[in-house]
Amino acid sequence: MHNHTCGCGHHEGDAGCGSHEHGHGEVCACGAHHVSPEVEPLASAWSMLGKTSKEQTVPPTREFDFDWEGQKVHVYQWGKAENIPVVLLHGFMQTGLSWSIIAAALSGNHCAYALDFLGHGRSSKPSNVELYRYDAMVRMVESFLEQVACMGHEGAKRRAHVIGYSMGGRIALGLASSEKDLLYSLILESCNFGPEGNEQRAVAEERNAGWAQRLRNNGIEEFVEYWETLPLFESQRETGLDEELRPERLANDAESMALCLEGAGKHAMPDASQAFAVVANTWVPVKYLWGYDDCGSEAVAHRLEHDGIDVTSFGTGHNVHLEAPVLYGTVVQEFLSGIEPRGAAPEGSGHQQ
């Protein structure tokens, strides 16, 4: 299933939308589905969230540290702990606070947790590359789910929704093959699914090694300046979002970012064919979100749509939740509200072991 959204919900470049004289919740001339604002119970929160800016960062309800293998993982929380948990995973060179607008908007009926990955934000910055490996980062999130997010009242177990963007989406993807019954749903934003074969893996490894060396040789400031020129972030340059994100990027430690690239880059993931098979067969509801101007996510989106996965595209670039936070949050809330609490995965459900 594919939904397509623009500023009202529709991507401006598509033919058939005309003057946009159509109501939300309707199908317009091009056949695109537009989200209905009636499904969003947090209208009071949205009034302050119409535009992304650092002045509109929403402070968390609380902050705390989670210990994982002797390392400190910093956690931001919005909402009451007794609500259904939503765990938010940030992208490379970001922090959990990059989710604050979305987290605050969801906090009316969920408890939103956003983590700082190791090497990022206020979490530990170890020098051991093993702690930055892709599998290790997946295990860290899995441990947080088990010990904190999915630990309900008086020790009762519950599930969590997990939302991951870019690098965070790749980490979230690793949870889909977990043997542990921890997920209500999985929302993946603008993330690749790993290399397709050894040739792609070698190319990705060489690229990430080059970026890591650039960080070590030239430092974080030069690397951020270079990073912001990548085609992936063209829409951020056009809107000025890159200027808002720059302080967060510059606050990173060059060595930690280099280790993250070496340990958890695309080359470190399982083959894409394996990831697509896991997502196609898991009993956990999965949704994929991507920006129409993000060419890197297009092939993934089309493959998932072909496999019957719920896909929504937006008239944005790579970082949908910062470029279109209100619309993004509405789409997410609509998806979450349609998921009923369930018991254990039914026998023979296709849940990956």
- Does 17 fall in a domain? no
Nearest alpha carbon to residue 166 among 329, 324, 321, 270: 321
- Does 172 fall in a domain? yes
Please provide residue 74's backbone torsions phi and psi, each rounded to the nearest 5 degrees: -85, 140
- Does 243 fall in a domain? no
- Does 291 fall in a domain? yes
CATH number for the domain harbouring residue 81: 3.40.50.1820
Residue-wise DSSP of 292-343:
TT-HHHHHHHHHHHHTT-EEEEESS-S-HHHHSHHHHHHHHHHHHHTPPP--
Using CB atoms within 10 A of its CB, is residue 314 exposed (0-12), middle (13-18) or buried (19+)? buried
Tell me how far the alpha carbon of residue 179 is from its chain's centroid: 21
- Does 82 fall in a domain? yes
Which residue carries 């890197």 as its tokens?
296
- Does 112 fall in a domain? yes
Report how far residue 296's alpha carbon sits from residue 292's, in angstroms, rounded to the nearest whole number. Answer: 10
Q: How many domains does the chain contain in total? A: 1
- Does 168 fall in a domain? yes
Residue by residue, pLDDT tens for the chain (353 residues) are: 656 555 434 333 333 333 223 233 333 333 333 343 333 334 444 444 444 444 457 899 999 999 999 999 999 999 999 999 999 999 999 999 999 999 999 999 999 999 999 999 999 999 999 999 999 999 999 999 999 998 876 667 899 999 999 999 999 999 998 888 999 999 999 999 999 999 999 999 999 999 999 999 999 999 999 999 999 999 999 989 999 999 999 999 999 999 999 999 999 999 999 999 999 999 999 999 999 999 889 999 999 999 999 999 999 999 999 999 999 999 999 999 988 554 444 444 444 43
pTM: 0.85
Boundaries of domain holding 81 = 2-7+28-197+270-337
- Does 181 fall in a domain? yes
